[in-house]
């Protein structure tokens, strides 16, 4: 599966417990026009599944019920992998930067 | 939400409902979702569509179109710029119509709310209603569930250390019910509060409640000091309740108080000063109500022949009352927008045709490879659609920006102009507009380019086919004609405006500060008024930068004048034939007034300080008075009689002053009699001061000076004379600027069209030019030939345009001032300008052709 940087961010947000489209936007800082197509693609590839929120909860908060996205087992594996990869990259980045930092 | 609903159309029907629910729920979860997050729904919808629907062909066309446009960025940028400018203007015009003319009014069943006015039989227009007539209407009419009157009023609020005047309306029973609104806080008036003694209660406007009382709900039941008496606040009106009845006064109505009808008022049928609003009974039509009022008016006419002869009641719907004045301007604006849009479409058509000529090879290959004609047309239309779509997105941004700026410099008389914005319906309009533009601009080129002649890919038409050339030249002629119409209209407006600015007002407008003071309430009696006036004049005179101080009762160009008219009789002459002297303006001035205003003296002398209370009574008359009523006689020394405060007064005319304009520049100067303040002290003092410093800077010191004499005195209106005159010009200036902008755009587009087509023709004619030059034609011959060809097209356009202008210029009549709608200078000038610009547009490509090396030109083929 193609794992772009925004896709990795969305997976990360799902892993951190953000479940609604707009909450994922807030968590990732990505615009809605990016987040939604990513969610749809993840859905089509079986990485996430979506459900509708319970009526009761929504009514209690006086709003329409929202769609709820969560990672499947497979999705979780990919998300964790992605996290490791980004962390590794970050670590590599730091290593690369260190000599430069000490020179100055 | 509107955006999401629009985007939902892209989602396949099977998934649409659930998709919409998801997006709506997400948007609803935010207090104020950003426009950007809503627009993301388009990306989402597109994505789903692309995956779910096999309409790959359209997507393919889009991709291909996009590539085409990117390859020819110059063409795309030009076309988009042309379209977006004209589409932005269209969006603004649409918003003005939908948000001003068709704005939903904040009253339940607003189409049943009407205003009722007096008018003379056979005369158009609307006049305020005399109390006696209102009382009879209300007692007799069955068509209304409510009929109520409002009496424009003002109260002095002394609850701060800077006393203010608050505009108010004293209302009869049922005023708020006629509008059908409910109070935001507290209540409206009870019936028993419309009786003398119980009437000291008020309802505040929501804005006043916020600005002065901190939006405190506990204000209900509290007393506030108004006119040095205490009034109890019983309620606050809803936020958007601001029925504009007296449109010509600046500012909001700040409060409402109950009106009780005094005994004499029920019989007062002379001049009206009330404004009447009603709500039609359910089931009663507008026409039925008008018919009933006509019958009642006829009854009243027989009962009161002296006052009600020819007086009718005119029912005008509240919407019509509010917006009818701006209709002609909106119509003009819309017509101009339409013309520019049409020119832009024609221009883009031309661009597409020109580009098509270069693409014939590609299209022929496609056809040869089996593309059906429908497919080719579709593809070409999709390309145009892409242009139009990008242009409409840019147009929305431009429209939003220009509507923001309209709030700043647009005419203030236009209601709600400051609330214009791109709303949901404007978005829908922009989408539809893009579709229309696509068809108008794109269909002809698409059909032509895909048509016959494409069948042989090898066949290259170096000279272009003659039919297409004729089409393009015809289109340019249309552009020129449309542009000429706009330019002529602008010329006429410009000439009117210049005429207006050159009108002699009779006074010198610059450097005058104006303070309107109603001193009668706090200073009763001639002696007290004279004393107050003298002290105020002295205080203002001491302000640094003030050269001279004067007073006048009815100040020119002030909206809120106490303007008394009365009958004047000539004592030494028979009245001039056909001249009506029953309503001559009787103004009161101090000697300083003439000096401050720079009013020119024509004969005799001005009012001077020696014209005191015990001196012989004198008056000065205006030039218009002398011309109309004392024709052929020396006015100086004539004696006249008039009534002042109900007492007949005789006085001698000692001087004649220049024409004085009073209300508008385009209104004839009025016949006016000017009485000395010292002989007739009045309470309505408009103090005027001539300054050597900017006049607005002395207003604050002047107020402080007056407060040092009487800390409770209020100022009804303060301004500079420039501002007062300027106010009457804003609508015209606005119309002029808008039309000039459109005309310039039209001129530019037409010139660009001419230039573009001529350039193309020149390049197609290079061979012919080469031959001619090889045969000995000089470059001037070539130049002449090409310019003549271009100009002849322009001339056809100008001729067609002139016919249209002369036929249709009457539409502009109401915007013109001392210019005939067929003014030869304005229209001829426009035609010449058009031809000159066309000449330049032709000269450049012709020059290029003529300077070509003939050998190069021949080698082209």
> Which among B105, B168, B88 has a CA at the least distance from the CA of B716?
B168
CB pairs under 8 A between A and B: 62
Picking from B28, B41, B47, the nearest residue to A64 by CB comes out as B28
Residue B549 burial (C-beta neighbours within 10 Å; 0-12, 13-18, 19+): buried
Residues on A contacting B at a C-beta cutoff of 8 Å: 20-22, 25, 31-37, 40, 44, 58, 63-67
ipTM entry: 0.82
Contacts of A35 in chain B (CB under 8 A): 40
> Which among B361, B530, B376 has a CA at the least distance from the CA of B461?
B361
Task: Grade residue B856 by pLDDT with cuts at 50, 70 and 90.
Answer: low
Q: How many CB atoms lie within 10 A of CB B20?
A: 18
Which sign does the torsion angle of CA B620, B622, B625, B628 carry? positive
pLDDT at residue B305 in the model: 86
Tokens 């272009």 locate to B464
pLDDT average, residue stretch B809-832? 84
Task: Report percent pLDDT > 90 for chain B.
Answer: 32
Task: Grade residue B66 by pLDDT with cuts at 50, 70 and 90.
Answer: confident
Picking from A36, A64, A66, the nearest residue to B43 by CB comes out as A36
How far apart CA B620 and CA B637 sit, in angstroms, is 11
What CATH number was assigned to the domain covering residues A5-103? 1.10.10.10
In a mutational test of the A interface, the residue from B35, B41, B43, B45 whose CB has the highest number of chain A CBs within 10 Å is B43
Contacts of B39 in chain A (CB under 8 A): 32-33
* pLDDT at residue A101 is higher than 70: no
pLDDT tens string B571-596: 988 888 777 888 888 999 999 999 99
pLDDT at residue B515 in the model: 94
Contact status of B34 with chain A (Cβ, < 8 Å): no
Q: Which residue has the higher pLDDT, A53 or B257?
A: B257
Q: Inspect the interface and report whether the beta carbons of B43 and A32 lie closer than 8 Å.
A: yes
* pLDDT at residue B455 is higher than 60: no
DSSP state of B814: G
Residue B456 burial (C-beta neighbours within 10 Å; 0-12, 13-18, 19+): exposed
Contact status of B15 with chain A (Cβ, < 8 Å): no
Contact status of B36 with chain A (Cβ, < 8 Å): yes
Delimit the domains of chain A by residue range.
5-103
pLDDT at residue B463 in the model: 44
pLDDT at residue A104 in the model: 38
pLDDT at residue B53 in the model: 63
Q: Inspect the interface and report whether the beta carbons of B42 and A33 lie closer than 8 Å.
A: yes
* pLDDT at residue B609 is higher than 70: yes
Q: Please check whether residue B208 is in contact with residue B198, taking contact to mean a CB–CB distance below 8 angstroms.
A: no
Delimit the domains of chain B by residue range.
1-53, 122-309, 467-502+730-859, 520-712
Length of chain A: 104
Q: Which residue has the higher pLDDT, B286 or B364?
A: B286
What are the structure tokens assigned to A59, written together? Answer: 């009514």
pLDDT average, residue stretch B798-811? 85
Q: Inspect the interface and report whether the beta carbons of B22 and A66 lie closer than 8 Å.
A: yes
pLDDT at residue A100 in the model: 47
CA dihedral B244, B246, B249, B255 (to 10 degrees): -60
Residue B232, strand partner residues:
B201, B223
pLDDT at residue B457 in the model: 46
pLDDT tens string B293-352: 999 999 998 998 888 888 889 899 888 888 877 787 888 888 888 889 999 998 888 888
Query: B5 CA to chain A: closest CA distance, Å?
Result: 15
pLDDT at residue B137 in the model: 93
* pLDDT at residue B291 is higher than 90: yes
pLDDT at residue B458 in the model: 46
Contacts of B38 in chain A (CB under 8 A): 32
Query: B397 CA to chain A: closest CA distance, Å?
Result: 19
In a mutational test of the A interface, the residue from B22, B31, B46 whose CB has the highest number of chain A CBs within 10 Å is B22
Q: Please check whether residue B260 is in contact with residue B195, taking contact to mean a CB–CB distance below 8 angstroms.
A: yes
pLDDT average, residue stretch B124-133? 83
3-state secondary structure B35-64: HHHHHHHHHHHHHHHHHHCCCHHHHHHHHH
Query: B104 CA to chain A: closest CA distance, Å?
Result: 28
Parallel, antiparallel, or unpaired: how do β-strands A48-52 and B255-258 relate? unpaired
Give chain B's mean pLDDT: 85
Query: A94 CA to chain B: closest CA distance, Å?
Result: 34
Q: Please check whether residue B221 is in contact with residue B255, taking contact to mean a CB–CB distance below 8 angstroms.
A: no
Query: B289 CA to chain A: closest CA distance, Å?
Result: 46
pLDDT at residue B460 in the model: 47
How far apart CA B554 and CA B675 sit, in angstroms, is 12
Contacts of A57 in chain B (CB under 8 A): none
Contact status of B52 with chain A (Cβ, < 8 Å): no
Task: Report percent pLDDT > 70 for chain B.
Answer: 93
> Which among B259, B191, B257 has a CA at the least distance from the CA of B224?
B257
Query: B241 CA to chain A: closest CA distance, Å?
Result: 30
Q: Which residue has the higher pLDDT, B136 or A58?
A: B136
Q: Considering the entire predicted model, what is its pTM? A: 0.70
Query: A34 CA to chain B: closest CA distance, Å?
Result: 7
In a mutational test of the B interface, the residue from A32, A42, A64 whose CB has the highest number of chain B CBs within 10 Å is A32
Q: Inspect the interface and report whether the beta carbons of B43 and A64 lie closer than 8 Å.
A: no
Element (H, E) at B569: strand B568-570
Contact status of B66 with chain A (Cβ, < 8 Å): no
pLDDT average, residue stretch B382-386? 88
Parallel, antiparallel, or unpaired: how do β-strands B672-676 and B584-589 relate? parallel
How far apart CA B12 and CA B49 sit, in angstroms, is 6
Tokens 């350039």 locate to B759
Task: Grade residue A96 by pLDDT with cuts at 50, 70 and 90.
Answer: low
A92 in helix, strand or coil? Answer: helix
Contact status of B294 with chain A (Cβ, < 8 Å): no
Q: Which of B109-113, B731-735, B819-823, B850-854 has the lowest mean pLDDT?
A: B850-854
Q: Please check whether residue B710 is in contact with residue B536, taking contact to mean a CB–CB distance below 8 angstroms.
A: no
Contacts of B583 (CB under 8 A, 6+ apart): B565, B566, B567
pLDDT tens string B86-96: 999 899 889 88
pLDDT average, residue stretch B226-237? 92
Contacts of A34 (CB under 8 A, 6+ apart): A6, B40, B43
pLDDT tens string B753-800: 778 777 777 777 777 777 777 787 777 887 888 788 888 888 999 999
How far apart CA B144 and CA B113 sit, in angstroms, is 9
What are the structure tokens assigned to A104, written together? Answer: 């100055």
pLDDT at residue B249 in the model: 59
Q: Which residue has the higher pLDDT, B857 or B481?
A: B481
Length of chain B: 861
Question: End-to-end distance of chain A based on CA atoms, in angstroms?
Answer: 41
Q: Inspect the interface and report whether the beta carbons of B44 and A67 lie closer than 8 Å.
A: no
* pLDDT at residue B383 is higher than 90: no
How far apart CA B794 and CA B487 sit, in angstroms, is 14
Contact status of B285 with chain A (Cβ, < 8 Å): no
Query: Angle B730-764/B766-774 helices, nearest 10 degrees?
Result: 60
Contacts of B478 (CB under 8 A, 6+ apart): B346, B797, B800
Task: Grade residue B608 by pLDDT with cuts at 50, 70 and 90.
Answer: very high
Q: How many CB atoms lie within 10 A of CB B409?
A: 12
Q: Please check whether residue B533 is in contact with residue B551, taking contact to mean a CB–CB distance below 8 angstroms.
A: yes
Contacts of B24 in chain A (CB under 8 A): 64
Picking from A37, A44, A66, the nearest residue to B26 by CB comes out as A66
Task: Grade residue B453 by pLDDT with cuts at 50, 70 and 90.
Answer: low
Q: Please check whether residue B666 is in contact with residue B504, taking contact to mean a CB–CB distance below 8 angstroms.
A: no
pLDDT average, residue stretch B792-820? 85
Query: A37 CA to chain B: closest CA distance, Å?
Result: 5
* pLDDT at residue B861 is higher than 90: no
């Amino acid at each position: 599966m193609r794992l772009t940087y925004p896709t990795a961010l969305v997976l990360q947000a799902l892993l951190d417990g953000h479940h609604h489209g707009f909450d994922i936007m807030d968590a990732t800082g990505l615009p809605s026009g990016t987040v939604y197509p990513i969610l749809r693609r993840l859905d089509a590839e079986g990485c996430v599944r979506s459900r509708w929120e319970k009526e009761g909860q929504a009514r209690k908060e006086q709003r329409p019920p929202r769609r709820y996205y969560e990672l499947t087992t497979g999705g979780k594996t990919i998300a964790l992998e992605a996290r490791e990869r980004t962390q590794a990259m970050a670590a590599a980045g730091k290593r690369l930067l260190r000599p430069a930092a000490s020179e100055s | 939400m509107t955006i999401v609903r629009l985007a939902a159309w892209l989602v396949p029907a099977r998934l649409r409902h659930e998709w919409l629910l998801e997006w709506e729920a997400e948007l609803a979860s935010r207090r104020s979702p950003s426009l950007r997050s809503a627009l993301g729904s388009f990306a989402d919808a597109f994505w789903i569509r692309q995956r779910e629907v096999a309409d790959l062909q359209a997507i393919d066309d889009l991709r291909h179109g996009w590539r085409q446009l990117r390859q020819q960025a110059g063409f795309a940028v030009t076309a988009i710029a042309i379209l977006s400018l004209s589409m932005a203007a269209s969006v603004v015009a649409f918003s003005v119509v939908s948000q001003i003319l068709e704005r939903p009014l904040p009253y339940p069943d607003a189409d049943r709310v009407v205003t009722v006015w007096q008018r003379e039989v056979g005369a158009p227009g609307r006049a305020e209603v005399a109390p006696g007539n209102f009382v009879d209407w209300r007692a007799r009419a069955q068509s209304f569930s409510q009929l109520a009157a409002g009496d424009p009023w003002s109260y002095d609020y002394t609850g701060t250390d800077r006393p203010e005047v608050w505009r108010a309306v004293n209302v009869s029973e049922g005023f708020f019910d006629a509008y059908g609104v409910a109070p935001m806080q507290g209540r409206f008036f009870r019936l028993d509060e419309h009786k003398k003694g119980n009437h000291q209660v008020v309802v505040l406007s929501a804005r006043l409640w916020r600005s002065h009382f901190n939006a405190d709900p506990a204000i209900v039941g509290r007393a506030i000091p108004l006119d040095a008496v205490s009034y109890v606040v019983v309620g606050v009106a809803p936020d958007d309740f601001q029925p504009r009845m007296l449109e010509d006064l600046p500012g909001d109505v700040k409060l409402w108080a109950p009106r009780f009808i005094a005994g004499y008022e029920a019989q007062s049928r002379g001049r009206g000063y009330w404004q009447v609003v009603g709500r039609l009974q359910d089931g009663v039509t507008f026409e039925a109500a008008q018919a009933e009022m006509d019958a009642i008016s006829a009854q009243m006419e027989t009962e009161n022949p002296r006052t009600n002869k020819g007086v009718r009641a005119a029912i005008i719907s509240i919407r019509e009352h509010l917006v009818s004045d701006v209709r002609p301007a909106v119509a003009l604006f819309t017509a101009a927008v339409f013309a520019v849009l049409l020119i832009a479409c024609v221009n883009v058509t031309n661009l597409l045709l020109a580009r098509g000529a270069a693409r014939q090879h590609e299209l022929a290959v496609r056809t040869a490879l089996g593309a059906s004609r429908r497919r080719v047309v579709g593809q070409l239309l999709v390309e145009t659609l892409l242009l139009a779509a990008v242009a409409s997105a840019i147009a929305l941004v431009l429209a939003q920006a220009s509507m923001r700026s309209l709030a700043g410099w647009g005419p203030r008389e236009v209601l709600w102009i400051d609330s214009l914005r791109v709303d949901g319906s404007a978005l829908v309009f922009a989408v539809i507009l893009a579709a229309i533009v696509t068809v108008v601009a794109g269909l002809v080129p698409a059909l032509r380019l895909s048509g016959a002649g494409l069948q042989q890919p090898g066949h290259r038409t170096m000279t272009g086919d003659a039919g297409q050339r004729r089409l393009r030249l015809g289109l340019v002629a249309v552009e020129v004609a449309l542009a000429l119409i706009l330019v002529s209209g602008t010329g006429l407006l410009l000439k009117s405006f210049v005429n207006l600015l050159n009108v002699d007002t009779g006074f010198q407008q610059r450097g005058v500060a104006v303070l309107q003071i109603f001193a009668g309430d706090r200073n009763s009696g001639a002696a007290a008024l004279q004393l107050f006036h003298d002290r105020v004049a002295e205080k203002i005179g001491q302000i640094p930068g003030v050269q001279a101080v004067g007073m006048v009762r009815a100040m020119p160009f002030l909206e809120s004048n106490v303007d008394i008219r009365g009958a004047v009789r000539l004592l030494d002459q028979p009245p001039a034939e056909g001249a009506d002297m029953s309503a001559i303006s009787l103004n009161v001035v101090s000697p300083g007034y003439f000096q401050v205003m720079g009013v020119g003296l024509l004969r005799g002398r001005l009012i001077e300080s020696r014209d005191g209370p015990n001196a012989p009574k004198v008056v000065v008359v205006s030039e218009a008075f002398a011309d109309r009523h004392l024709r052929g006689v020396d006015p100086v020394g004539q004696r006249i009689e008039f009534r002042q405060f109900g007492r007949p007064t005789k006085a001698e005319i000692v001087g004649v002053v220049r024409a004085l304009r009073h209300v508008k520049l385009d209104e004839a100067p009025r016949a006016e009699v000017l009485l000395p303040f010292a002989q007739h002290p009045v309470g309505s003092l408009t103090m005027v001061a001539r300054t050597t410093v900017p006049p607005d800077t002395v207003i604050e010191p002047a107020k402080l000076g007056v407060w040092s004499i009487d800390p409770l005195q209020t100022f009804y209106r303060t301004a500079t004379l420039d501002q007062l005159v300027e106010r009457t010009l804003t609508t015209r200036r606005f119309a002029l600027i808008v039309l000039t902008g459109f005309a310039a755009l039209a001129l530019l587009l037409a010139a660009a069209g001419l230039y573009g087509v001529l350039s193309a023709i020149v390049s197609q004619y290079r061979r012919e030019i080469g031959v001619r030059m090889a045969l000995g034609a000089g470059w001037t011959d070539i130049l002449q030939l090409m310019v003549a060809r271009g100009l002849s097209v322009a001339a056809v356009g100008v001729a067609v345009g002139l016919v249209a202008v002369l036929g249709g210029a009457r539409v502009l009549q109401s915007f013109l001032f001392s210019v005939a709608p067929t003014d030869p200078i304005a229209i001829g000038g426009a035609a010449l300008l058009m031809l000159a610009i066309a000449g330049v547009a032709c000269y450049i490509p012709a020059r290029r052709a003529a300077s070509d090396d003939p050998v190069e030109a021949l080698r082209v083929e």
